[in-house]
Chain A
Amino acid sequence: MTKCTFCGRRAAYHRRYAGVFLCDRCMIRSVERRFRRSMGEHRLVSPGERVAVAVSGGKDSVACMHLLADYCRRKNCELVAVTVDEGIRGYREESLPIARENAKQLGVEHFVVSFEQAFGATLDQITTLARRKGTGLNPCTYCGVMRRSLLNQAARELDADKLATAHNLDDEVQAIMLNYVRADFSRLYRLGPSYPPREGFVPRVKPLRGIPEKEVALYALLKGIKVHLGVCPYVGGIHAEIREFLNRLEANHPNSKFMILRMFDRMRPHLAEAMPEFEMRRCEVCGEPTSSTLCKSCELLRGLGLGRKQKTLISTKST
């Protein structure tokens, strides 16, 4: 039997990059401590603010909502939850009720916005259309851009001061690597513990950014939080390859993920100097902030012969 380095109980986790074993209790406490430290260190949320958290029903976002609910109770903040229903058959209809259930249990008001309602097409339909039209873009590109745009709009309509997403260490390091591979300088620059405030954007915060995905999963499992562990059917392509590569690196060289993140965070302030200045405008179609005439989301929709359907996302009733 392996024992917890701190209390001697049976270990539930070997944190190899730190050379310690943790039991269930010490593991839960450790994740909660890291979460609070990250909230404080980067001043992600100030007392009295209204926070919208994006919750899919998966382990990361549900764990994030639980941690935020506790934090907001202590700091007198208000928390609301938003789920984007992209319209992925066999996937989202399983995770959505779990998001709803957890929000209810925590007493967090919960709203659902959908691709279908906003764009007149589900992600499944968009994927079929994209394939037929030969746009060469994969579902994750559409999903990422459109989800971000809906979350921003929903958070703004809900009068949120901050929009919290559950990106963990793995997500963040993958994004860093992906933007390297694609040489996407401005996207790379925008990765950080919080999104630089820009007009029209609800500032985004990522409180789980310093916590490995496996530890977020362990936190949810050890706390007995009900989560959806399904895998998105569209997972694949370069995202999956980068993830696999990073996990192999981490298995053979523990701490690699943290090192990549730390190095990036050190370079980031210097990247600001190289960032081109551009004026923020409003998208002609939907009014979301953009640097050109159309926002990325409307541009993608136009390429498919689709367009924005519903202007306002949030009706007053929550689910």
Chain B
Amino acid sequence: MRLGEITVKVRVIGQRATRKVRVAQKTRAADLLNQLGLNRETVVVRLNGKIVAEEERLADGDSVEILPVVTGG
């Protein structure tokens, strides 16, 4: 791991695997979504089990669950 980087566990609901993603320190959930190519208007972010605003900053070892909710069902 490079200096100034943290690792977070990411799971997109509906996809099977949990993956580890390296992001810069003080990355916001919104930045992570960008990095993953997901539109914030279409998902809800659960940070360590809590639904949070996408401006919330991530810390090393955090668990991030992403729920696609805007699917046009």
Q: Spell out A's residues near B (CB within 8 Å).
A: 1-2, 10-14, 21, 24, 56, 58-60, 170-171, 174, 213-214, 217-218, 221-222, 229-232, 235, 239-240, 243-244, 247-248, 250-251
8 further interface pairs, Cβ-Cβ under 8 Å (given A13-B51, A14-B54) = A2-B55, A11-B56, A59-B73, A214-B70, A217-B44, A218-B44, A218-B69, A229-B14
Q: How far is the CA of A2 from the CA of B57 in the complex (A)?
A: 9
Neighbouring A residues of B69 by C-beta, 8 Å: 59, 213-214, 217-218, 221, 229
| CB proximity of B71 to chain A, nearest CB, Å | 5
| B21 CB within 8 Å of chain A | no
CA A221 – CA B44 in complex, angstroms?
A: 9
Are the C-beta atoms of B42 and A214 separated by less than 8 Å? Answer: yes
Chain A at the B interface: mostly helix, strand, loop or mixed? helix
Q: Give the Cβ gap from A304 to chain B, nearest Cβ, in Å.
A: 25
Please, how many residues of chain B have a CB less than 8 angstroms from a CB on the other chain? Answer: 21
Of B39, B40, B51, the contact of A24 (CB 8 Å cutoff): B51
Q: Which residue of B lies closest to A13 (CB)?
A: B53
- With A58-B73, A251-B39 as known contacts, state yes or no: A2 contacts B56, CB within 8 Å: yes
Q: Is the CB of A251 within 8 A of B73?
A: no
Q: Is B50 an interface residue (CB 8 A)?
A: yes
B54 to chain A, nearest CB (A): 6
Query: In this complex, what residue of A is CB-closest to B54?
Result: A14
Do B44 and A171 have beta carbons less than 8 Å apart?
A: no
Considering only CB atoms, which chain A residue lies closest to B42 in the complex?
A: A247
Residues of B contacting A11 with CB < 8 Å? 52-53, 55-56
Q: Which one, B14, B40, B51, B72, contacts A235 given CB within 8 A?
A: B72
3 smallest beta-carbon distances between A and B, as pairs: A217-B69, A14-B53, A11-B53
Give the docked Cα–Cα distance between A231 and B39 (Å).
17
Closest residue of chain B to A170 (Cβ to Cβ) is: B70
| Chain B window 31-62, contacts with chain A (Cβ cutoff 8 Å), 1 for yes, 0 for no | 00000000111101000001111111000000
Cβ-neighbour of A221 out of B51, B52, B73 (below 8 A): B51
Contact call A14/B71, Cβ cutoff below 8 A: no
Determine the chain B residues whose CB is within 8 A of the CB of A222 once the complex forms: 51
> A240 touching B72 by the CB < 8 A rule?
yes
Tell me the complex Cα distance, A171–B73, Å: 9
Interchain residue pairs with CB less than 8 A apart (23): A2-B52, A2-B53, A10-B50, A11-B55, A12-B51, A14-B55, A56-B73, A58-B73, A170-B70, A171-B72, A213-B69, A213-B72, A214-B41, A217-B67, A217-B69, A218-B69, A221-B69, A229-B71, A235-B73, A240-B72, A247-B41, A247-B42, A251-B41
